[in-house]
Chain A
């Protein structure tokens, strides 16, 4: 036995295992920090800093202090940062590789704050909207009227094409059917034959029966021609009904195109149309980011592609879960209080059941912000939920913000146009939903008591600046679209129309002459088709009148004359029969 056992080995065993345990415990904070930084960096694609990590064993918990997540689009600032994150973690589920956090507190969350030093970016950010806006302000040569007409999707062109196509269709049908109509001679012939039948004095019923037979055959012939006349008349009516609105549309189209295209001559149409986006888009984007930031939390949960995961699993193996009594997801935060600091005001959001395996818990993650009167706003309410499973994300959210006081907000700082919101009140409400990762929603932002300062450096931007400076109220409508993690926001307001009107009042001589040319060319586009169609339609009307006359003549031939002949003969024969009977009875 002694030959088999090594007693010193037992001591060595305890020393080795003790050493391993000691190393784990001593460096636990370091390893937690390392793991957290690596995980967050792979999710955000940019440098993550954590100042300090502390852990406690009873209850088991971790506290992260000074967390900064670099914004990959703007590495000089943090996408988000937090003063402290404290998590109380259930120890037993960790053996099953499940992270169950009973209580999570995140305090001092701030967005878009400057960093002390520029953070490293590991994934390229998308081109910033600013670059696109800068392009819109570049002065361009006025396009020629022909270029405008060629590039623009004109209503006139469409109306001409549609009218011509419709006219062609009806014209062919009408010509074909008109050719099938009975000639004047044929109608005259019918008239003569009818008169011959009706004017003959029939001596006996046999003659009358024969005439009736002849008349019936004639009647069938007339009926066939009548059907042709009716078909022609129906086609003519249909053509008239179809062509009338088309012609009206064709006549109105140049006017409508002119109204639309005059903005192109008056200035940069793109710039005018996008002025709401240019001036308010960036801030609206920021605001939407705050409002929809909950989805930023959901997006990384789906970020890792299944393909990547499969490759990793093939090499490192995977953890297979079997039914357990608790039916826990791999990651769950039962309750979280997240406190976001904005302009020295703290907004508390309360979260329940944060996970990426909602099928396991059978309910969605919910979040709620209910902030009463503060120094910044009158009220802020935000409610939402999201549910993640294999098919994607399903989420709903609505918000209602009343009376947010705005002051000294730089809206746009560019060489050719700069604008600052000196003072104003913002109220906003809206809702958004996600279905299978596709976001849709609408929102509106009503700005009141506005005081805007703006300066422009060229004709176009000066007009924009003057219009902005004159604004006291503005309602901006936004459409939220895109996919999870790639939000697409479009904003619009009546500011664009206001600007076009102002610009049209400030036209140069060249612009005025181009407008005249535009009007003339648009009208010329419809002159040909409209003239040809009008004359052809006159011919259709003539044909229709003729057909109407022929139809009534045939109808009268068929109805009145034949009936009277039959009736007269019937009466005559009845009288004769009566006379004969009287003679026989009374003589």
Chain B
């Protein structure tokens, strides 16, 4: 209910479709990659410092975290193949021996694999999210707002709080 209220609030807000789409994209990256890492800190910084929609970020984070149950072996394998590649060995060794490289934890198969996978996915997620938000606002928003469930949600205390916070 809380998540649904968040989503409705975000979709009905004045935020631009790009803000919402960036929230989805960054939430996807954060959700697919391991939480403890330098990349997470960077994403958190971007999300909070730039006007990225927090609701779509949190929703996407929750959704894609769940997907890792299925995707982790694939992403880990992807990272492994890159890390054991003899052509890239010199680069990884250099990174491994630098403090920055050690902080990135890119010598961990899942960290590297999931970050690369989510970065490859990012442009598609961004564009698709933007299109979906626009289409929703044009075609479905009025219809959805008339639904009894939505009206009930809008009347709920949680939605009111979000509304107040957003103003």
- A6 to B50 alpha-carbon distance, docked (Å): 5
Q: Is the Cβ of B51 less than 8 Å from the Cβ of A317?
A: no
Partner of A319, one of B50, B73, B93, B108: B108
Interface presence of A10 (CB below 8 A): yes
Q: Which residues of chain B are within 8 angstroms of A324 by Cβ–Cβ distance? A: 96-97
> When A317-B111, A321-B107, A324-B97 are in contact, do A13 and B51 touch as well, CB less than 8 Å?
no
Asked if residues B93 and A315 are in contact (CB atoms below 8 Å), the reply is no
Residues of B within 8 A of A5 (CB): 49-51
Question: Does B41 count as interface, using CB distance less than 8 angstroms?
Answer: yes
Min distance, Cβ B94 to any Cβ of chain A, angstroms: 9
State whether A322 touches B93 (Cβ < 8 A).
yes
Report if B45 contacts A (CB, 8 A). yes
Q: Does B109 contact A (CB under 8 A)?
A: yes
Does B102 belong to the interface (CB within 8 Å)?
yes
A322 touches B97 (CB 8 A): yes
User: Which of A6, A12, A96 is within 8 Å of B102, CB to CB?
Assistant: A96
Given known contacts A320-B109, A324-B97, A17 and B50 CB-to-CB distance under 8 angstroms: no
Q: Does B79 contact A (CB under 8 A)?
A: yes
Q: Is B27 an interface residue (CB 8 A)?
A: no
Is there an interface contact between B44 and A17, defined as CB atoms closer than 8 Å?
yes
Scan A4-20; emit 1 where CB is below 8 A from any B CB, else 0. Answer: 11100110110011000
Q: Does A95 belong to the interface (CB within 8 Å)?
A: yes
Q: List 29 A–B pairs whose Cβ atoms lie within 8 Å, in order of A's numbering.
A: A3-B51, A5-B50, A6-B49, A6-B51, A9-B47, A9-B48, A9-B49, A95-B102, A96-B102, A313-B109, A314-B73, A314-B76, A315-B73, A316-B72, A316-B110, A317-B34, A317-B72, A317-B79, A317-B108, A317-B113, A318-B80, A319-B107, A320-B83, A320-B107, A320-B108, A320-B109, A321-B107, A322-B89, A322-B96
Task: Assess whether A325 is interfacial by the CB under 8 Å rule.
Answer: yes
Q: Is the CB–CB distance between B48 and A6 below 8 Å?
A: yes
Whether the Cβ atoms of B89 and A317 lie closer than 8 Å is no
Query: Is B144 in contact with chain A by the CB < 8 A criterion?
Result: no
Residue on B with the closest CB to A2? B51
Instruction: Determine if A538 is an interface residue (Cβ-Cβ < 8 Å).
Output: no
Q: Does A150 contact B (CB under 8 A)?
A: no
A-contacting residues, B84-112, CB 8 Å: 84, 89, 92-93, 96-97, 99, 102-103, 107-111
Residues of A within 8 A of B72 (CB): 315-317
Give A513 Cβ to nearest chain B Cβ, in Å: 76
- Tell me the smallest distance from the CB of A153 to a CB of chain B, in Å: 57
A201 at the interface (CB under 8 A from B): no
Contacts of B109 in A (CB 8 A): 313, 317-320
Contacting residues, chain A, for B45 (C-beta < 8 A): 13
How distant is the Cα of A320 from the Cα of B48 in the complex, in angstroms? 33
The reply to whether A17 and B41 contact each other, CB–CB distance below 8 Å, is yes
Given contacts A4-B50, A13-B44, A95-B103, contact A320 B110 (CB under 8 A): no
| A323 in contact (CB, < 8 A) | yes
- Name B14-50 residues within 8 Å CB distance of A: 34, 41, 44-45, 47-50
Of all A-B residue pairs in the complex, the 5 with the closest CB atoms, nearest first, are A317-B110, A9-B48, A322-B96, A95-B102, A317-B109
Q: Report the bound CA distance from A328 to B43 in whole Å.
A: 32
* Docked complex Cα distance between A490 and B73 (Å): 48
Q: Give B156 Cβ to nearest chain A Cβ, in Å.
A: 25
Determine whether the beta carbon of B76 is less than 8 Å from that of A315: yes
Cβ A16 vs Cβ B48 within 8 A: yes
For the A-B complex with A12-B48, A17-B44, A317-B76 known, give 16 more contacts whose Cβ atoms are closer than 8 Å: A6-B51, A9-B49, A16-B48, A17-B41, A95-B102, A313-B76, A316-B110, A317-B80, A317-B110, A319-B108, A320-B107, A320-B108, A322-B89, A322-B93, A322-B107, A324-B97
Residues of B within 8 A of A317 (CB): 34, 72, 76, 79-80, 108-111, 113
Q: Judge whether A320 and B97 touch: CB under 8 Å.
A: no
> Complex: how many Å from CA A317 to CA B92?
17
Shortest Cβ distance from residue A50 to the other chain B in the assembled complex, whole angstroms: 24
Chain B residue at minimal CB-CB distance from A324: B97
Tell whether, in the assembled complex, residue B96 and residue A321 are in contact, meaning their CB atoms are under 8 Å apart.
Answer: yes
> Which residues of chain B are near A322, meaning CB under 8 Å?
89, 92-93, 96-97, 107
Residues of chain B within 8 A of A320, CB atoms compared: 80, 83-84, 92, 107-109
Bound state CA distance, A313 and B97, in angstroms?
Answer: 23
CB contact list, A322-338 vs B, under 8 A: 322-325
Complex: A322 Cα to B82 Cα, angstroms:
13
Among A3, A322, A324, the one with the most B-chain Cβ atoms within 10 Å of its Cβ is A322
Cβ distance B165 to chain A, nearest Cβ, rounded Å: 12
Please judge, given known A-B contacts A315-B73, A317-B79, A317-B110, whether A323 and B93 are in contact too, CB under 8 Å: yes
Assess whether A325 is in contact with B44, with CB atoms less than 8 Å apart: no
A313–B72 Cα distance when bound, in Å, is 10
Q: Give A297-352 interface residues, CB cut-off 8 Å to B.
A: 313-325
Give the distance to chain A from B32, nearest Cβ to Cβ, in Å: 12
Q: Which residue of B lies closest to A16 (CB)?
A: B44
Asked if A13 and B49 sit within 8 Å, CB to CB, the answer is yes
